[in-house]
Structure 1
Amino acid sequence: MKQGIHPEYVDCVVKCSCGNTFTTRSTKPELKIDICNACHPFYTGTQKLIDTGGRVQRFADRFGAAKDVVAEREAARKAERAAQIAEREAAKKAEREAKAAAKAERAAAYAAKAAEEAVRAEAVAEVQAADDAAAEATAEEAPGVELTEAEVEAAE
């Protein structure tokens, strides 16, 4: 063996997932293992399920499964879409309410204008009735004198 190129060979504490610990010698001072002679089915004579997941399973265990990430992303998209739909519906509802308010305002203005026209027509009718009464009174005072159309229009 060449000198100075080999690692140190030291006492090592081996810890198993079943809780068993023992010491041996290795180039590392501590080892953590999944199965040992105290829990191996060959030595114990009992059946034990051992998860021998590969790289993908270890990655998923460490960082989370991609399915969870995709599900979270889809849930976020659905929530965003629902918010957009609710916002659009609220905008449409506000627009409909504004149109209804404008229509009611136009109807109120039309009703006010119609009432004003009715009052004006009533006032014109009263004035005309008063003019007719005055013309009759004048005609009774001066019988036989008839006014021409031009004089009637000038009187009005």
Structure 2
Amino acid sequence: MKQGIHPEYVDCVVKCSCGNTFTTRSTKPELKIDICNACHPFYTGTQKLIDTGGRVQRFADRFGAAKDVVAEREAAKKAERAAQIAEREAAKKAEREAKAAAKAERAAAYAAKAAEEAARAEAQADVDAMEDAAAAGTAEEAPGVELTDAEVTEAVEAAE
């Protein structure tokens, strides 16, 4: 053994957290330990709670169980998806109602235009009948048409 490179080997007093003390030899004059032969479960045969939990348990105690956090997150996602779906359905329904209203407006406009065309065609037929009656000479010669010459002229001017 080389001289001068090794630490000093001295008597050491070991103190346990249970209160037991004993003397041994070490490079340090005093040691403080958590468990010794007087309090270790293997030697005493009794169970002693040494650690309140492992790393995972301490993490779960500090930050909460991961299962609960995941369940909360999933519930929030489901609620958000349900809200989005409801919003989309409402938008689609509003769009369908708007299309139906526009279709009804177009149908009403088409019906009004068709009624106007029918009235115009009927008026034109009446005017044509009046013109035919006027060309024949009298209004009495045309069956079902009993108008004066002034009325025929007025209807012709209105149609033009």
Q: TM-score, normalised by structure 2?
A: 0.54
Quickly say closer, same or farther: Cα 1:45–1:146, change in 2 above 3 A.
closer
- Which range moves more in the overlay, 29-38 or 52-61? 29-38
Q: 1:15-68 CA deviation, whole Å, 9 max, x = no partner?
A: 999999999999999999999999999999999999953221222123210111
Answer yes or no: is 1:77 the counterpart of 2:77.
yes
- Which range moves more in the overlay, 103-112 or 61-70? 61-70
Quickly say closer, same or farther: Cα 1:6–1:103, change in 2 above 3 A.
farther
Question: Which residue matches 1:94?
Answer: 94
* Percent of aligned pairs with the same amino acid: 94
Q: Give 3-state SS (helix, strand or coil) of 2:8's partner.
A: coil
- Which range moves more in the overlay, 26-35 or 57-66? 26-35
Mapped partners of 1:64, 1:31: distance in 2: 37
Mapped partners of 1:53, 1:144: distance in 2: 111
- Report the alpha carbon displacement of residue 72 of structure 1 after superposing the two structures with TM: 1.0
Mapped partners of 2:14, 2:51: distance in 1: 20
Q: Give 3-state SS (helix, strand or coil) of 2:31's partner.
A: strand
- Which range moves more in the overlay, 22-31 or 99-108? 22-31
- Which range moves more in the overlay, 12-21 or 98-107? 12-21
Mapped partners of 1:90, 1:154: distance in 2: 52
Q: 1:88-139 CA deviation, whole Å, 9 max, x = no partner?
A: 1111111111111111111001000000001101111111111122122269
Quickly say closer, same or farther: Cα 1:89–1:34, change in 2 above 3 A.
farther
- Report the alpha carbon displacement of residue 4 of structure 1 after superposing the two structures with TM: 26
Quickly say closer, same or farther: Cα 1:23–1:102, change in 2 above 3 A.
farther
Task: Give the unaligned 5+ runs of structure 1.
Answer: none
**Alignment size in residue pairs:** 156
Q: Give 3-state SS (helix, strand or coil) of 1:139's partner.
A: coil
- Which range moves more in the overlay, 75-84 or 45-54? 45-54
Mapped partners of 1:47, 1:65: distance in 2: 27
**Superposition misfits of 4+ residues, deviation over 4 angstroms:** 1-52, 138-156
Task: Give the unaligned 5+ runs of structure 2.
Answer: none
